[in-house]
């Protein structure tokens, strides 16, 4: 089955007519972009501020995924699940498009990131791993059932798929057939390249053990990737502001509309 470009149906140029089903559908995916973008930008900050508020001190983590094993676990799970479900349902009315398939892949992958957690951080060398006869503290039921190394392997594979899918989506968003603004195309491509550069830094920096202060290459790469992904989705949601107010073609005054009259000559 052929994959089609995402704009297979024309998007209405006027988004203020909320009685038009085409407008409502366009608004649905613009809202999805906005919510996903806002969460992508805010979550890394929320994790740090939230944990510092709960514990009384700022803790430096080895990765964003490590927040699963902190007091911020509920926020981590809820935030990524919301992103996952929004990505899965994004453009679900256009299932043959590349946008939908990449977003679906990213959404499923991030749910695997949530439910297949990373290894518990800062374990002593002789600490028992999940899967031992007696469940060690901090293990999830899935880690206990399948073993901590296997679950962590699934986690990192899913995280890689999630991040790379988002990078690909940035370049899809920047397609000149879809994005008419050269400046916005440049921003979207830049977000895609930033994500790829962050992934490369995660690998190279990890091999070189090149921490920045106490920040590991994995943590820096994840944060930069998520921020770039959030920024790209917010850029693509910018037309949402056109949805507010009266339609441009309706130049009647409020009294005219209430009485069902045509625009008066003095209405300008």
Token digits for 262? 């045509």
> What's the whole-model pTM score?
0.82
On whether the CB atoms of residues 232 and 173 are closer than 8 A, the answer is yes
The residue behind tokens 């930033």 is: 194
Q: State the pLDDT at residue 72.
A: 93
Task: Compare 185 and 6 and report the one with higher pLDDT.
Answer: 185
Task: Compare 259 and 38 and report the one with higher pLDDT.
Answer: 38
Mean per-residue pLDDT, 63-72: 92
Q: Between the CA of residue 165 and those of 87, 179, 190, 266, what are the distances in Å?
A: 11, 19, 15, 54
- For the cut 50, the answer to whether the pLDDT of residue 74 exceeds it is yes
Q: Percentage of the chain with pLDDT > 90?
A: 54
Task: Compare 237 and 162 and report the one with higher pLDDT.
Answer: 162
What are the helix and strand counts (H, E) for the chain? Answer: 8, 0
Give residue-wise pLDDT tens across range 94-135. Answer: 888 899 999 999 999 999 999 999 999 888 888 888 887 788
Mean per-residue pLDDT, 157-178: 94
Mean per-residue pLDDT, 211-227: 93
- For the cut 50, the answer to whether the pLDDT of residue 7 exceeds it is no
Using CA of residue 137, residue 143, residue 146, residue 152, what is the dihedral sign? negative
Give residue-wise pLDDT tens across range 220-245. Answer: 999 999 999 999 999 988 877 776 65
Task: Determine the Cα–Cα distance for residues 218 and 200; give it in Å rounded to an integer.
Answer: 10
Closest by Cα among 240, 220, 259, 249 to 34: 240
Other beta carbons within 10 Å of 234:
18
Q: State the pLDDT at residue 9.
A: 47
- For the cut 50, the answer to whether the pLDDT of residue 184 exceeds it is yes
Task: Determine the Cα–Cα distance for residues 190 and 45; give it in Å rounded to an integer.
Answer: 22
Read off the pLDDT band of 24 (50, 70, 90).
confident
- Alpha helices, DSSP H, located in 209-239: 217-236
Q: Where are the domains of the chain?
A: 21-121+139-267
First to last CA, the chain: 52
Read off the pLDDT band of 264 (50, 70, 90).
very low
């Amino acid at each position: 089955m052929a994959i089609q470009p995402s704009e297979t149906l024309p998007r209405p140029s006027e988004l203020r007519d909320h009685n038009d089903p085409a407008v409502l559908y366009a608004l649905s995916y613009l809202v999805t972009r906005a919510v996903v973008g806002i969460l992508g930008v805010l979550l890394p900050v929320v994790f740090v501020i939230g944990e510092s508020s709960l514990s009384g001190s700022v803790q430096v983590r080895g990765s964003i995924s490590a927040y699963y094993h902190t007091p911020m676990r509920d926020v981590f799970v809820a935030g990524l699940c919301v992103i996952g479900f929004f990505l899965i349902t994004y453009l679900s009315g256009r299932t043959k498009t590349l946008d939908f398939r990449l977003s679906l892949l990213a959404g499923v992958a991030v749910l695997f990131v949530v439910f297949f957690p990373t290894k518990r951080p800062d374990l002593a060398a002789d600490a028992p791993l999940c899967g031992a006869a007696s469940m060690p503290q901090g293990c999830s039921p899935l880690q206990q059932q399948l073993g901590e190394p296997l679950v962590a392997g699934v986690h990192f594979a899913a995280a890689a798929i999630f991040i790379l899918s988002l990078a690909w989506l940035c370049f899809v968003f920047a397609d000149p057939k879809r994005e008419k603004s050269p400046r916005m195309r440049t921003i979207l491509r830049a977000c895609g390249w930033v994500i790829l550069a962050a992934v490369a830094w995660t690998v190279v920096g990890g091999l070189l053990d090149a921490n920045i202060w106490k920040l590991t290459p994995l943590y820096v790469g994840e944060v930069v990737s998520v921020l770039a992904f959030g920024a790209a989705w917010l850029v693509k949601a910018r037309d949402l502001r056109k949805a507010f107010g009266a339609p441009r073609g309706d130049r009647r005054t409020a009294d005219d509309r209430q009485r069902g009259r045509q625009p008066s000559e003095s209405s300008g």
